[in-house]
Structure 1
Amino acid sequence: MALTSKGYKRESYEDILERLDVKAKELFGQDANTGARSALGILLRIMAFVLALVWQDNENVYYSGYRKTAEGRQLDALLPYAGITRNPATYADGPVVLSGTPGTTIEMGFTVGKEDETLYYTLEESTIESDGTATVDVMCQVSGAIGNAEIGEINQIINPIDGLESVTNPIAFTNGKEQETDQEVRERADTTVEGLGSATTASIRTELLKVSGVRAAYVDENYSDEINVYGTPSRAIQAFVLGGSDEDVAKAVFKKKSGGIQPYGQTYITVLDDAEQPKAVGFTRAQTVQIYAKVSLKKNNSFEADGQNQVIKAIVQYIGGSDAESNTYIGLNMGEDVILSKLIARIYGVNGIDDVDVLLSTDGSLYEASNIEIKLQQVAQITAANIEVI
């Protein structure tokens, strides 16, 4: 039986071949030649191979029904039961400065790009001003981190026109993100189902984590008669949030908070209630603790050519932040400490590593082989540029 009280047990190719061999000799006689080079043996092995694939497909179907093991589209179909959907890839966008002859008109959809042939199009028509420049917003033609750009990296005019001489981006583009991975969306789903309902700090946090772009959240409540250590007034709540737009965060807090409770914070956004009456909803942006890491590796012959990038990615995925390709990972939640042993365990997941030493820092100067404590209103983050691998 494939399905038992302990779950699904798939038969291997060898198990299937053995059963076919036994059945063949039962039907054709014990002296039947079922060797690998015999006609009957070859047929049995072909059948065993095909049946093994069927067993594998059945196993995949079985595991696709559970959020912990489903992948891809099957996982997407289960996410609504947790009240969320997968965050899609986003398009990088931002302003560029066009230089040329005053009065030159650049139509909407005009194409510029980077030297690696990543293309962007203008979102509106613009005209070169008297100072010889025009600032216009552009958006990458493809989604994902490929659209992110350092300052000055967008410098190619794809279809030249008279009166236009050059283009550049005065600020870095960093808002292009890849689609949320299976592991990331599983972790977010696990968190959201913890706080179903309303009028509790858990339900407010859950609602915040459903907001697109929110990577961490913590809700502090003060039911004492004095202001607490986080600055939350008496009989009030204060949501600490990393990521997401101000409007979406405020709406999420207002949707789940209890009636008559003040939503306090350093940022206030006006939200309309059911009667279209304006309500001021406050929340506070989380304090980001930048982490720096120095990693010393003892490698063997199995260490791959891009092994260093794999190590950097493993560190970013554990702590949270941006890797070398500008992919963003959620990582640790609000108030979670950076545990050195857990970080080292993630690094050992990269092939070809015999030994590893890791030093951590919060200022880039003083490094220690110790955990980093994170307060409740803080969240640890790291970038590929802050990781040194030798």
Structure 2
Amino acid sequence: MLDSAGFKRQRFADLITDMEVKAKEAYGDDVNTSERSVLGILLRVVAWFLAYLWSNAEDVYNSGYKDTAEGVSLDRLGPYVGIERRGADYAAVQLRVTGTPLKIVPAGWRAATETGVYFETTDEVTIPAGGHVLASARAVSAGLAGNTGAGTITIPANPDPDITAVTNPAAASGGRERETDFELRQRWDLSVASGGASTLDSLRAGLLDTPGVRAAIVAENYTMQPVAGRPAKSIEAYVLGGADADIGQTLLGKKAAGIEPYGSVSVQVLDEGGFAHTMRFSRATEVPIRIRLTLAVNNRYPAGGDGDIISAAIRYIGGEDSDGQLFTGLNMGESVKVSQLIGSVLSIAGVTDVQVQLSRNNGASWTGSNLTLAAQEVAQTSYQWIEVTRP
């Protein structure tokens, strides 16, 4: 039923009870409605289908709300607040192609890893006299599989006698899976002001909605004197992640006219009239968080439990998991709270107790207390920085 408290669906047991009461009203109190009676069987068959319809009705009701909608229903709610689900991204990498000088490596030339992950060049390049050239490439398929390590892309997929070798000096990065419902809801909560402009909240929301941006804050100087290095009547955005050009375009579209953007990064962007503007911002200071977790577990602890523990810690703090997935985690300036980290770890089956040690200076010193960060700092961790031990 639907009332002031919301929608409450009738479950199978509720329907059977109501139908038995109605049957006795119609046929008398002595009518047999047990599970093995003809009438009882008929009532239960009908109740099963009615329960299915009630379940569908509940799903329809829930599809209209951000916290309960799922899948496509959630996608269709996003545009009402100006956000869309982010699709899977392609990993990008620089390939070092070795071969005959003056050989042209066309756009679309492919190389692969031994595990069958293919990359293709995005631009045409020519091998110079030195015999090798760097070519920009991206994964053929979107997703985490494209985040391969350095030196793993070594197989030319298009054999050519003038191309003798290929490798990637640095790891491929940027590949990610399609944004999950949970991630979309998190970004929704942080982007509620994105429909406006010229306010600090709308500017921050716009930055958070910029592709690749994982955290952002905006500071302002509304006085006529320099404050903390910021010129009079200026703003300074601190941003983690994202491309410079995309961030600059967001600043141009969201900041108030006549307000100077200040920061250590400068980028030229065009307005709708084709005029160039210089947008400035600063990169957030990433604070690497190393973690030591000492666990007490029981026989419910899964075989891959250590990996689940590490993933849970990364989801809370933010950073890169072992599969290359990047998680936003804590907001900029937000402290790392030991109690919340413990809660994330205890959510894994079989963990009965946990002791936490944290370090923000590459392991020079450790503490079991909360870590406080400055407004422009953001905590980040990595699967390589988390140590899990079980006595």
Q: CA deviation at 1:216?
A: 1.1
Q: Corresponding residue for 1:144?
A: 143
SS in 2 for 1:284: strand
Q: Corresponding residue for 2:166?
A: 167
- C-alpha distance in 2, partners of 1:30/1:330? 62
Q: Corresponding residue for 2:181?
A: 182
Identity of aligned residues (%): 40
Q: Corresponding residue for 1:39?
A: 38
- C-alpha distance in 2, partners of 1:122/1:273? 31
Q: Corresponding residue for 1:333?
A: 331
Q: CA deviation at 1:308?
A: 1.8
Q: Pick which of 162-171 and 119-128 moved more.
A: 119-128
SS in 2 for 1:10: coil
Query: For 1:165-314, what aligned pairs fall within 5 Å after superposition?
Result: 165-194=164-193, 196-229=195-228, 231-273=229-271, 276-314=274-312
Q: Pick which of 319-328 and 216-225 moved more.
A: 216-225
Change (3 A) 1:195 1:26: same
One-letter amino acid matched to 1:252: T
Work out whether residues 220 and 232 of structure 1, in 8 Å CA contact, stay in contact via their aligned partners in 2. no
SS in 1 for 2:52: helix
Work out whether residues 288 and 362 of structure 2, in 8 Å CA contact, stay in contact via their aligned partners in 1. no
- C-alpha distance in 2, partners of 1:155/1:105? 19
- C-alpha distance in 1, partners of 2:49/2:306? 40
Gap runs ≥5 in structure 2? none
- C-alpha distance in 2, partners of 1:97/1:277? 37
- C-alpha distance in 1, partners of 2:213/2:32? 65
One-letter amino acid matched to 1:349: S
Work out whether residues 81 and 194 of structure 2, in 8 Å CA contact, stay in contact via their aligned partners in 1. no
Q: Corresponding residue for 1:98?
A: 97
Change (3 A) 1:134 1:265: closer
SS in 2 for 1:233: coil
Gap runs ≥5 in structure 1? none
Q: Corresponding residue for 1:30?
A: 29
- C-alpha distance in 2, partners of 1:8/1:179? 31
Q: CA deviation at 1:296?
A: 1.4
- C-alpha distance in 2, partners of 1:184/1:221? 29
One-letter amino acid matched to 1:284: S
SS in 1 for 2:148: coil
> Which whole-Å deviations, capped at 9, do the CAs of 1:93-130 have from their partners, x for residues lacking one?
22212334556555543332122222222334555544
Work out whether residues 195 and 203 of structure 1, in 8 Å CA contact, stay in contact via their aligned partners in 2. yes
Change (3 A) 1:190 1:136: same
- C-alpha distance in 1, partners of 2:161/2:274? 52
Q: Pick which of 194-203 and 208-217 moved more.
A: 194-203
> Which whole-Å deviations, capped at 9, do the CAs of 1:12-35 have from their partners, x for residues lacking one?
221112222223333344333333
- C-alpha distance in 1, partners of 2:90/2:49? 43
Q: Corresponding residue for 1:351?
A: 349
- C-alpha distance in 2, partners of 1:113/1:279? 41
Q: CA deviation at 1:226?
A: 3.7
Change (3 A) 1:50 1:256: same
RMSD value, Cα: 2.1
One-letter amino acid matched to 2:263: G
When normalised by structure 2's length, the TM-score is 0.92
- C-alpha distance in 2, partners of 1:223/1:10? 54
When normalised by structure 1's length, the TM-score is 0.92
Q: CA deviation at 1:326?
A: 0.8
Q: Pick which of 245-254 and 35-44 moved more.
A: 35-44
